[in-house]
Structure 1
């Protein structure tokens, strides 16, 4: 662990470039979807430009709805393929890059995130923050990273459509490219390496021994290494991600069908939710973690209970202000993930951090596609005016299971002192 890095610098190492990348993705994501729909209309289906422009200029008209019935099925196939590729490739890549970074360094993996996707960059960020922080301050720095990511999403959601309306597609993608370039230069110039290696190891990235080493690390029995704690943390992160991605998939559909909200009204709701999430994360750690002295597991339980309350309020929503009430009761909902990742980082030796985070990232990257399909399927069969809405109870069930696992983690951590026995490398291990 690099202790030469000054305390204040730890707040401006991974956070700014991560925020810039998320901002670029957020501002260009919706615009890219719109571009795919528009180009599908003109090129794939051969509809004249004047008619396709109705999708922009008068999207609620009967003519626009007629065109959408032709365009959206084709565009959906492209978007589904894009989502599948963005989930599958980075998830497989993360199995190699995490163990590789334990041996050859974090910085190359951070830079490769701009090729491998946001999940690879998140993996590298978690490993890097684990390297430069101790057990007491790690939760705060991971939460600070989450806050910067949320800020990037918020800025991107509002700036993307505004830039598009004023200057068009080219300006949006040009700005996004510039932001990614600035983030890359920031990493190259200002982020020091925390794992020193005398060789580059580039040729060994896709060595399957890394995956074998990862599996052995996570499943091989060792004195003082409690596998159930590691797998319990991974299970919690997995369940929380399923609920998050599912809620994201049906959120607008629900608000539109139940309350008659427009895209603008839902955007304001999302922006409010992001802002409250940032405040809840920053002040939640100060108030709950530091003032009360609660352990990470207890704080995570409080956070998941907050998310559970949000799901229940949404299930019984029939007026617009109820949706904002759900934001209020769920203000601490974003605290759980950094707390659980902190527990996970403490449950493994420092040299195995990349391996364990790789496993978690692998599952977290694969799940969004399946989670969205599950929630959309349930919602389409039981949608408003059905009341209360069953799909929110699915989220509630995931949160309750997570709370039970976290209670087990808390009991286990109080009754056990974690100590590690290094794995003995055999002749097949990586040299």
Structure 2
């Protein structure tokens, strides 16, 4: 971003309501990519939980279909012991899965953040987590196809490992807020960060609202395939739409501000 471009930007206080809306629309950058990252992640969460429960019951514990069908339908009155065993198995997996999902990104973000600041590169740190979530969707599709061949733990590894080694939500938000800070003026920065937070806040309830309906209508294959397609859309948008400033340009703006 050059000083000339920075000086050409209108003052927010001088804009009317219509001009402010037009300005926000014209300056949308990372928001659609973020929405298409959050929505499928939340969207697939219910299907993933059910896949883990189904595998725990039918594959790991090898209960008969009668028992697992009753547990799936929440008719657990006659199968309380089996329900407890299934839930204990899934809860045990959730412990190491959560540890994996939080510890690896927390370690990586120290190096990724430092590299991003030194090189002035935010875009790779935005695209990497999308790739990780896409690989998770593919892995869960494979676990669904080979339902009885692959135990619950394979689905858990697919769900946790790929996002973890590509940075996960931590890296995505670090990169997005850094990028927004790089491309905005001091006057509009807080507003733009607020807009990003709005997209994030809307993405979670939208994904949650659609998750149950879509799982009921299109099942595991449909939900995971849809999530994978949205991730491809998010990655493509980020790759083509988001333009990066070089390190020298970013420093030049700060020096001139």
TM-score (norm. length: structure 2)? 0.71
- Corresponding residue number in structure 1 for 2:46: 30
Corresponding position of 2:107: 92
For 2:172, which of 121, 139, 155 is the aligned residue? 121
Alignment of 1:5-154 (within 5 A): 7-8=23-24, 11-57=27-73, 59-104=74-119, 105-114=121-130, 115=132, 116-154=167-205
Any runs of at least 4 consecutive aligned residues in structure 1 with deviations exceeding 3 A, and if so which?
1-11
Quick one: distance in 1 between partners of 2:27 and 2:35?
12
Does residue 227 of structure 2 align to residue 176 of structure 1?
A: yes
Whether the 8 Å CA contact 1:103–1:195 is kept in 2: the answer is no
**How far apart, in 2, do the equivalents of 1:146 and 1:2 lie?**
27
Alignment check: 8 A CA contact 1:42 1:49 kept: yes
- TM-score with structure 1 setting the length: 0.44
Deviation at 1:12, TM superposition (A): 1.9
1:66 Cα deviation after fit: 3.0
SS for the counterpart of 1:63 is: coil
Q: Offset at 1:125?
A: 0.3
2: CA distance, partners of 1:34 / 1:12: 36
Deviation readout 1:389-426 (Å, 9 max, x if unpaired)? xxxxxxxxxxxxxxxxxxxxxxxxxxxxxx99xxxxxx
CA 31–157 in structure 1, closer or farther in 2 if over 3 Å, else same? same
**Counterpart contact for 1:22–1:152, Cα < 8 Å:** yes
Q: Hey, what's the Cα distance between the residues in 1 that align with 2:193 and 2:95?
A: 31
* More moved, 188-197 vs 80-89: 188-197
2:76–2:83 Cα contact (<8 Å) kept: no
1:19-40 CA-to-partner distances (Å, cap 9, x unmatched) read 1110011111122112111101
3-state SS of 1:162 partner: helix
Q: Distance in 1 between matches of 2:53 and 2:107?
A: 29
Change (3 A) 1:98 1:56: same
In 2, the alpha carbon distance for the partners of 1:18 and 1:162 equals 23
Q: How many residues align?
A: 200
